[in-house]
Amino acid sequence: MTGTRITIDNVTKRYDRVEVIPGLSAQFEAGEFTVILGPSGCGKSTLLNMLAGLEEVTSGRLLFGAREVQNVPAKDRGCAMVFQNYALYPHMSVADNIGYSLKLAKVRKAERVERIAAVARIAGLEGYLDRRPSQLSGGQRQRVAIARAIVREPGVLLFDEPLSNLDAKLRNDMRIELSNLHKRIGATSVFVTHDQVEAMTLADRILILNEGQIEQFATPGEIYHRPRTTFVAEFIGAPAMNLLKARGEGGNLCLASGTPMTTVAHEGEVLAGVRPERIELSDAGLKAQVLYREDLGSHHILLVQLDSGEQMRLSTSQGGANADSSEVFLHIPPDAVHLFDPETQQRIN
Amino acid sequence: MIERTRTVNVVATGIMIAGILFILAPIVIAFLTATLSYEEFVSGGGIRLRVSDHFWENFAHVLFETRLPAQLWNSVVISLLVAFIKCAFAFTATFALVFYKSRLNTVIFAITIVTVMLPLELIVITTYQVVANVLMPINWLLGWTGLDALIERLTGSRPYLEYSLLDSYIGVAAPIATSSTSVFIYRQFFMSLPKDLPRAATMDGAGPIRFMIDILLPLSWTPLVATFMFWFIGGWTAYLWPLIAASTPDAQPAVVGLARLANTDPDRIPDVPMLMAGALFVSFIPVLLIGLMQRQIVRGLNLSEK
């Protein structure tokens, strides 16, 4: 199985008068695992449905390889989809669920049985083929849904939040399984989720969508370490990045009150972002009061208030050492600061 | 919260026994009366709670000397038609309403509801006119377009098409079947299905009709069976319309035939014991069906697919 390159060329989507996607262009390389990430209502599911052929494209072009598919019916696009609620056919056995598309495509029975057995082996469903979906656990049902999707050997595999119905432990296991599966079958995969952990761990590249527009489309590392906009900066990472109003003055980055925070090369008004885990506790520096302390075992998350009134969150593994101190001093390394333009919300440094 | 105290149990059981007695009393009376001979009935001065040994006599009379056995067959065919038409139309209509989004959906649904609010009893005269000549709309269309005048000039005679469905099975069954109550039941059921199911079927390459036959129909089996039973019994007990639409005893269903037996001779006291035997004979098929399908009916009307 080889993947198909997907090109989204200035695609728009509107329902009546509401414009959900105002014009989006992107390219997913053959065999790439792309995660579309965004808050609910950002248009990510709509985009996936348009790729699948379950919703019409209002304008623009969709290309699978060199083939224009925006007017091709879903079944002829060579893509398959895994749904959030599995959407298995409750009255059919696992084997019939997996083989239904082959049956409709008029594949001969002998070949059908063979192919069902082959994907069942890949998905770890041997011995379950005669069961009904209601006799399976959540994880097994999701495997059936995946097997059903890959049995037709699609060039494009679409996932619509497939892990959100599983419990936390199973979700971690399935994530690894999915990742391995992707490497094995090599189809171009597009995975929609609102869970940033899934996005960070699964994706070759993450496409962050906000109100139907691309905020950033880059590798997980790039997105984490060099967020292009304040939206991405606050959306990725838990706890979220601290964003403070600040000003660059003579090599110092000063807070609104004038207190210097750290050094910077930039001059003028900025929004300064610092990830909680990059803030260090030290013996001297920015003085702050601890308002609240969350003990997560491996590390502590502190909510602190600076003398000038700004609140910040910081994550520290030293939290246990000075558990009683309500007064701390913060050190912010210059290279930990992300600078954003307060007007355009775009990254500066 | 379910109370499980002794008093509640006793009171509930009491109410249930009272209810059962209330419902069973007419049947018991019918059975007791059916055991009397005509002479015993007349000399006894009407219906009395007495057991006699003429039941098989009365029953044999119903079987061999009335048209009820043949009319029972009419009832079976008509009720099957009623139930089938109702279920088939409601199923396909609900399928379209639930799975296809259209601007006209609300309007279509409203029109569907109207048929529930216009019972056959209310429109019986116009229904009779239509069934007496189902080609009436075509005559009207010919007159409206002026085609009939044209044909008259060409052939010399004004066309008037006539085709009556009175006294036919479909003529009796179809008007009873024009009600969309099942649409509500199916709609609730369809909407309880996972909304990704039709989308998954689309991705698998199933068109709307494939989806309806391969996925929706097997899943809807329990509500379908339950409503089918329901409408079968509704068709079985329908009285007013079959009375009007079927004028000959050969076409009448058993319920109408039973009523006709009552007034064969106006000067004679009706043979009530024989009528009661007939009533028991006419109702045994629905009772049997309910008895056999009880579990299915309850499950189907529960509207949940486990």
Which of A:121-140 have CB within 8 Å of B? Answer: 134
A242 in Cβ contact with A273 (< 8 Å) = yes
Per-domain residue ranges for chain A? 6-235, 242-340
Cβ contacts of B202 on chain A, cutoff 8 Å: 53-54, 74-75
Residue A319 pLDDT class (50, 70, 90 cuts): low
Report the share of chain A in percent with pLDDT over 70. Answer: 97
Who's near A42: CB < 8 A, 6+ residues apart? Answer: A209, A210, A211, A212
Whether A148 and chain B come into contact, CB under 8 Å, resolves to yes
Would you call A203 exposed, middle or buried from its count of C-beta atoms within 10 A (0-12, 13-18, 19+)? buried
Q: Which of A98-112, A317-331, B3-17, B292-306 has the highest mean pLDDT?
A: A98-112
Per-domain residue ranges for chain B? 1-65, 67-301
Residue-level length of chain B? 306
Instruction: Answer yes or no: is pLDDT of A69 > 90.
Output: yes
Nearest to B58 by CA among B278, B293, B265, B269: B278
The count of CB pairs under 8 A between chains A and B is 57
State pLDDT tens for residues B214-252: 999 999 988 898 899 989 999 999 999 999 999 888 999
A87 to B199: CB separation less than 8 angstroms, yes or no = yes
A213 in Cβ contact with A42 (< 8 Å) = no
Angle at A306 between CA A305 and CA A307, to 5 degrees: 120
Instruction: Answer yes or no: is pLDDT of B34 > 80.
Output: yes
Domain A6-235 of CATH type 3.40.50.300: yes
Instruction: Answer yes or no: is pLDDT of B303 > 70.
Output: no
Whether A80 and chain B come into contact, CB under 8 Å, resolves to yes
Of residues B194, B203, B206, nearest to A81 (C-beta): B203
Which of A:7-66 have CB within 8 Å of B? Answer: 52-54
Eight-state DSSP code of residue B166: T
Cis ω on the peptide bond leading into residue A239 (within 30° of 0)? yes
B214 to A100: CB separation less than 8 angstroms, yes or no = yes
CA distances for A28 relative to A186, A213, B236, B250, angstroms = 13, 16, 63, 74
The residue of chain A nearest to residue B200, with distances taken between CA atoms, is A87
State pLDDT tens for residues B255-276: 999 988 887 677 778 888 889 9
Give the E-state strand segments of B19-109 in sequence order.
none
Cβ contacts of A85 on chain B, cutoff 8 Å: 194, 196
With a threshold of 0.95, does the pTM exceed it?
Answer: no
State pLDDT tens for residues A276-305: 999 988 888 888 888 888 888 888 888 999
Residue B211: the pLDDT is 95
B203 to A54: CB separation less than 8 angstroms, yes or no = yes
The residue of chain B nearest to residue A134, with distances taken between CA atoms, is B306
Amino acid identity at B152: E
Instruction: Answer yes or no: is pLDDT of B3 > 90.
Output: no
CA distance A291 to chain B (A): 45
Angle at A115 between CA B216 and CA A179, to 5 degrees: 90
Distance in Å from the first CA to the final CA of chain B: 24
Q: How many CB atoms lie under 10 A from the CB of residue B264? A: 10
Report the share of chain B in percent with pLDDT over 90. Answer: 37
* Least reliable range by pLDDT among A232-236, B117-121, B272-276: B117-121
Dihedral angle, C-alpha B249, B254, B255, B256, nearest 10 °: 0
Q: What is the CATH number of domain B67-301?
A: 1.10.3720.10
Amino acid identity at A334: P
Instruction: Answer yes or no: is pLDDT of B98 > 80.
Output: yes
Instruction: Answer yes or no: is pLDDT of B306 > 50.
Output: no
Helix (H) or strand (E) holding B87: helix B68-99
Strands A268-274 vs A252-255: parallel, antiparallel or unpaired: unpaired
Select from B101, B204, B219 the residue whose CB has the most chain A CBs within 10 Å, as the one to mutate to test that interface: B204
d(CA A209, CA A222): 16
Instruction: Answer yes or no: is pLDDT of B48 > 80.
Output: no
Spell out a b/e string for A255-271, using b for 16 or more CB atoms within 10 Å of the CB, else e. Answer: beeeebbbebebeeebb
The residue of chain B nearest to residue A77, with distances taken between CA atoms, is B203
State pLDDT tens for residues A77-116: 989 999 988 899 999 999 999 999 999 999 999 999 999 9
Whether A105 and chain B come into contact, CB under 8 Å, resolves to yes
CA distances for A298 relative to A294, A318, A320, A328, angstroms = 11, 10, 10, 20
Residue/partner pairs of A286-293 with CB below 8 Å, 24 or more apart:
A286/A259, A286/A261, A286/A329, A286/A330, A286/A331, A286/A332, A287/A327, A287/A328, A287/A329, A287/A330, A288/A312, A288/A327, A288/A328, A288/A329, A288/A330, A289/A326, A289/A327, A289/A328, A290/A325, A290/A326, A290/A327, A290/A328, A293/A319, A293/A323
CATH homologous superfamily for A242-340? Answer: Nucleic acid-binding proteins (2.40.50.140)
A101 to B218: CB separation less than 8 angstroms, yes or no = no
Mean pLDDT, range B283-304, rounded to an integer = 79
